[in-house]
Amino acid sequence: MLQSQNGRNKTEKASSVESKKYLSTTYERVDRPPNFVDMTDNKAEKRPLRIILIGYMGAGKTTVGKALSKELGIPFYDLDWYIESRMYKTVKQIFDEKGEDGFRKVEQAMLHEVAEFENVIISCGGGTPCFFDNMDYMNAQGETVYLKAVPEVLHGHLVMGKSVRPLLLNKTPEEVDVFIREQLKLREPFYTKAKYTLDVSLMDNYEKIQLSVEKLRHLLNIEN
């Protein structure tokens, strides 16, 4: 199951960029914010931009994805939400009806739909990179970023979170802790195949979320 790390992985560097002030906490989409980056105007590189966020449950993929979408003025897709709207079922219902194997097949099929869209930000489920050739496929399709957080932070977000996560149902907080640590060991070899890694362990308030977004722009070389 283990795979070697791709040599292109870059680690985020401290950025001196101050967090932006205009981002509202509601993340409603605007068509063209003042700092709209027209990705279609990039003559040097003809490839459409796809920023694909991966990482464990509770790392903040959706939070960062929405905030970056707002900044860049390009659409954001959460793969779980996409699956639910395409299948007219919740992720939990799909797990209940088809089991995890069935869910993974649906997830792969839906990944192949969203990752064809151009100039988008996509956040994947925590397990997406770890099944089939999904990680290689995502690396071929776009700029993959591993949002990395330590188990304590993931645990804090997951026990407080309201989302229904089938893999965590009926587990006590102690069992969730053990589960996260065990799963991270198995999943990290896949996550670290991402082209970039951004440490988001300290992303516990609005300013820090904004700082993570700025660091991500810097990593991806998308400047203001």
Residues that bind ligand S3P (CB under 6 A): 57, 80, 91, 125-127, 165-167
- Smallest separation (angstroms) from ligand S3P to the CB of 145: 14
Considering beta carbons, is residue 19 or 62 the nearer one to ligand S3P? Answer: 62
Query: Which residue's Cβ has the minimum distance to ligand S3P?
Result: 125
- Smallest separation (angstroms) from ligand S3P to the CB of 22: 27
C-alpha separations of 101 from 24, 140, 142 in Å? 39, 24, 25
Alpha-carbon distance of 170 to 161, in angstroms, equals: 14
- Smallest separation (angstroms) from ligand S3P to the CB of 167: 5
* For the chain, the helix, strand and coil percentages under 3-state DSSP, each to the nearest 5: 45, 10, 40
Considering beta carbons, is residue 37 or 95 the nearer one to ligand S3P? Answer: 95
- Smallest separation (angstroms) from ligand S3P to the CB of 45: 29
Task: Kindly tell me the burial class for residue 128, based on how many C-beta atoms sit within 10 Å of its own C-beta (0-12, 13-18, 19 or more).
Answer: buried
Rounded to the nearest 10 degrees, how much is the dihedral formed by the CA atoms of 209, 139, 131, 93?
Answer: 50
Alpha-carbon distance of 16 to 86, in angstroms, equals: 41
Considering beta carbons, is residue 150 or 167 the nearer one to ligand S3P? Answer: 167
Considering beta carbons, is residue 18 or 133 the nearer one to ligand S3P? Answer: 133
- Smallest separation (angstroms) from ligand S3P to the CB of 111: 11
Pairing mode of beta strands 120-123, 10-11: unpaired
Q: How many CB atoms lie within 10 A of CB 185?
A: 10
Considering beta carbons, is residue 117 or 179 the nearer one to ligand S3P? Answer: 179
